[in-house]
Homo-oligomer: A and B are copies of this chain.
Amino acid sequence: MSKYDHIQEAAYEANRQLPKLGLVLFTFGNVSAADRDLGVFAIKPSGVPYSDLSPEKMVIVDFEGKTVKGKLRPSSDTLTHAVLYKHWPNIGGIAHTHSTYATAWAQSQRDIPIFGTTHADHNTVDIPCAPPMNDEMILGDYEYQTGFQILNAFRDRGLNYEEVEMVLIGNHAPFTWGKTPEKAVYNSAVLESVAQMAYLTEQIRNDAPRLKDSLIKKHYERKHGPHSYYGQ
């Protein structure tokens, strides 16, 4: 027994969801689970297949990115997770994948336009694609700077990370987050589905219009507004 058991268990369960949801090939993704009181998060070890994971293999890292406990090396994306946890106080889980359609949008360096209510049930804006980093940032502490690239994109666009829980990194792939690691993984799957539908929508009609504001507002608020009536 250790004080980290609950986040190791949560991170383990969330990482195991990635292959079940078809979001990863081999080891191309990772999820972390944070404990705000302890100021740490549990994250997948680097390069270990999902089928070989166990809760105790999850590495405990603080919000500066320093390993606190664990024999294995944490995910190579650990510093990106650390930066987001440090600056965004209300998130409890982060997921990163190279899921097919979301990654294709990231590679195209385009935001995903809001074309329908499936999207509006989760966001009221186009899903942002942060630009690729400049060479100085890349040559510096790359994964650390990736975190700031996300923070900067949200600041520059005036987005609220509690409302928009997903981002594309230009030429790279998506990150998603939420109050829990389970919600972060949920958001990765929603993003992949929305990315596929948006791709198909443009193929079917190359001048497909964005969803109109009244529908965006209606669908988002019925799930997330003060008078929401979705779920139990």
**A61-69, A85-93, A210-218 - interface stretch:** A210-218
**Contact, CB under 8 Å: A47 / B230:** yes
- Contact A171-B115, Cβ < 8 Å, known A110-B205, A204-B105: yes
Contact for A117 among B117, B171, B199, CB less than 8 A? B171
Contact (Cβ within 8 A) B47 A231:
yes
Chain A: interface size category: 35 or more
Bound together, the chains give a CA A139 to CA B217 distance in angstroms of 10
Identical copies of this chain, number: 4
Q: How far is the CA of A119 from the CA of B72 in the complex (A)?
A: 26
In this assembly, does A160 line the interface, its C-beta being within 8 Å of a C-beta of chain B?
no
For this complex, 25 residue pairs linking A to B, each with C-beta atoms less than 8 Å apart, are A26-B190, A45-B232, A46-B229, A46-B230, A73-B232, A76-B229, A76-B230, A98-B118, A100-B196, A100-B200, A104-B197, A104-B203, A105-B204, A107-B115, A107-B197, A107-B198, A109-B205, A116-B172, A117-B171, A117-B173, A118-B173, A132-B215, A135-B214, A139-B218, A142-B222
Q: State the 6 A-B residue pairs at the shortest beta-carbon distance, nearest first.
A: A47-B231, A104-B200, A108-B205, A107-B116, A107-B115, A107-B201
